[in-house]
Amino acid sequence: MALRDEGAREWVVRAYLERPWLTRLHAHTGSQGIALTMMARGAAETYALAEEINRRAGRRQVDTIDIGGGLPVNFASEASSPTYGQYARLLSETVPGLFDGRYGLVTEFGRSLLAKHGTVVARVEYAKSAGGRPVAVTHAGVQVATRTVYAPDSWPLRIAAYDAEGRPKKGPAVVQDVAGPACFAGDLLARAQSLPLLEQGDHAAALDTGAYYFAHHYAYNSLPRPGVYGFTPTGTGDIAFATVRAPQTIEEIVTESGAAHTDALLG
Ligand SMILES: Cc1ncc(COP(=O)(O)O)c(C=O)c1O
């Protein structure tokens, strides 16, 4: 609900007053790219609306406020910023009533919880040069990093270079592109990044891809959805891996592509 639209606020308040079982208010101001102060303002508006509904209802009808997710992620470095602590401090300054115990508080953080805990790792199938720049052609492109490939300025990713054995690649930084496998020229995971030169057999790791990249795969070129593997320290200095999502099989792709209906239009 756009609360400032004519009549909208009153419509929401009435909706609550006419439905005594409505007890929560929810705001999600959008994911990424919204300044912290703007997010806090969104929470303040939601709180003010809850207070108004309760005043007009003459009772504590709204007992819980859900402030959604939306905390942005820093995709440019290892630093986790802004932090939950910074957001909580700003909220308690901007909307002190949110924390005085009268309201239950629900959050729906997604990207900020998960992005830095996932990495897309792709083998370099071959390396070439185009437009005067080295290009490492990998198995990860538009089918796994859809937003990054179609809107590279809004969703750039950091790439880390590893050798064939998975060791960090050494060597001078070279400005290069990292491309995906799809059939169009713009299928680029990264443009003009400075990295040790990626060569055939090396690995390119697209960092901070633990959040939306898990779900953004689509069936372009019938490229299979990759497996997802979790890892955890064993306590004895080793790392144990476990399959979290199995890679898509060729049979599944054929089924999804309509294998059961191949003769649907044949008389
Ligand atoms: C209603 C709602 N809550 C929470 C989220 C998660 O947002 P984020 O991943 O930015 O924390 C979304 C995603 O846009 C959403 O639509």
pLDDT tens digits, 99-129: 999 999 999 999 999 999 999 999 999 999 9
Nearest CA owner, ligand 1 atom 5? 69
Cα(104) to ligand 1 centroid in Å equals 19
Cα(218) to ligand 1 centroid in Å equals 20
Cβ atoms < 10 Å from Cβ of 239: 8
Q: Residue type at 189?
A: L
Instruction: Answer yes or no: do 126 and 105 share one domain.
Output: no
Residue 64 lies in a domain: yes
Q: Is 28 near ligand 1, meaning CB less than 6 Å away?
A: yes
Which ligand 1 atom lies nearest to the CA of residue 111?
Answer: 9
What integer best gives the mean pLDDT of the chain?
95
Instruction: Answer yes or no: do 236 and 178 share one domain.
Output: no
**CB distance 213 to 120 below 8 Å:** yes
Q: Is 29 near ligand 1, meaning CB less than 6 Å away?
A: no
Instruction: Answer yes or no: do 196 and 126 share one domain.
Output: yes
Mean pLDDT of 213-242: 94
Instruction: Answer yes or no: do 98 and 149 share one domain.
Output: no
Instruction: Answer yes or no: do 202 and 129 share one domain.
Output: yes
Instruction: Answer yes or no: do 104 and 122 share one domain.
Output: no
**CB distance 116 to 158 below 8 Å:** no
**CB distance 68 to 91 below 8 Å:** no
Both tokens of 117, joined, read 């805990």
242's CB contacts (< 8 A; 6+ apart) are 229, 230, 231, 232
Pocket test for ligand 1, best of 28, 87, 216 (most atoms within 8 A of CB): 28
Cα(110) to ligand 1 centroid in Å equals 6
- CA-nearest of 203, 226, 149 to 180 is 149
Cα(172) to ligand 1 centroid in Å equals 40
Instruction: Answer yes or no: do 126 and 213 share one domain.
Output: yes
pLDDT tens digits, 128-184: 999 899 999 999 999 999 999 999 999 999 999 999 999 999 999 999 999 999 999
Instruction: Answer yes or no: do 12 and 104 share one domain.
Output: yes
Pocket test for ligand 1, best of 26, 38, 87, 108 (most atoms within 8 A of CB): 108
- In percent, how much of the chain has pLDDT > 90? 93
Res 29: pLDDT: 82
Instruction: Answer yes or no: do 83 and 141 share one domain.
Output: no
Cα(13) to ligand 1 centroid in Å equals 24
Which ligand 1 atom lies nearest to the CA of residue 112?
Answer: 11
Burial group, residue 98, by CB count within 10 angstroms (0-12, 13-18, 19+):
buried
Both tokens of 100, joined, read 């005085």
Instruction: Answer yes or no: do 199 and 234 share one domain.
Output: no
Q: How far is CA 47 from the centre of its chain?
A: 27
Instruction: Answer yes or no: do 198 and 141 share one domain.
Output: yes
Containing domain of residue 128, as a range?
118-220
Domain count, the chain: 3
Q: Where do runs of H (alpha helix) occur along 115-258?
A: 146-150, 250-256
CATH number at residue 139: 2.40.37.10
Residue 186 lies in a domain: yes
Considering 62, 97, 114, which residue would you say is the last residue of a domain? 114
Which ligand 1 atom lies nearest to the CA of residue 212?
Answer: 9
pLDDT tens digits, 25-46: 999 888 888 899 999 999 999 9
Q: Is 196 near ligand 1, meaning CB less than 6 Å away?
A: no
- Tell me which residue has tokens 């909706």: 15
Instruction: Tell me which H or E stretch contains 16.
Output: helix 8-18
Cα(107) to ligand 1 centroid in Å equals 10
Residue 3 lies in a domain: no
Residue 1 lies in a domain: no
Considering 84, 114, 144, which residue would you say is the last residue of a domain? 114
